[in-house]
Amino acid sequence: MADLAIAVNNLDFAYAQLNAPARPVLHDVTLNLPKGSRCLLVGANGAGKSTLLQILAGKRLTRSNAKVLGNDVFFKTPDGVTYLGTEWASNPVVRSDLEVAHFLDSVGGYRYKERRDRLLDILDVDLAWHMHEVSDGERRRVQIVSGLMAPWDLLLLDEVTVDLDVLVRSRLLAFLAEETQTRGATIVYASHIFDGMDSWPTHLCHIQLGSTVAPSPLSWPLTGAQGEDEAVPAEVRERMMDPDRSGSRLLELAVHWLEIDKKMRIEKEIREGGKQKRGATGAANGVVTDSEAFYRKYDYSH
Ligand X SMILES: Nc1ncnc2c1ncn2[C@@H]1O[C@H](COP(=O)(O)OP(=O)(O)OP(=O)(O)O)[C@@H](O)[C@H]1O
Q: Which residues would be at the binding site for ligand X (CB under 6 A)?
A: 15, 23, 25, 43, 45-51
Q: Which is nearer to ligand X, 45 or 182 (CB)?
A: 45
Nearer to ligand X, 149 or 258 (CB): 258
Nearer to ligand X, 41 or 81 (CB): 41
Q: Which is nearer to ligand X, 45 or 223 (CB)?
A: 45
Q: How far is the CB of 14 from ligand X (least distance, A)?
A: 9
Are the CB atoms for 74 and 11 separated by under 8 Å?
Answer: no
Q: How far is the CB of 101 from ligand X (least distance, A)?
A: 32
Task: Tell me the closest approach of the beta carbon of residue 292 to ligand X, in angstroms.
Answer: 25
Q: Whose Cβ is closer to ligand X: residue 47's or residue 149's? A: 47
CA dist 107 and 126 (Å) reads: 17
State the minimum distance, in angstroms, from the CB of residue 119 to ligand X. Answer: 25
Residue 201 Cβ vs ligand X, minimum distance, rounded to whole Å: 17
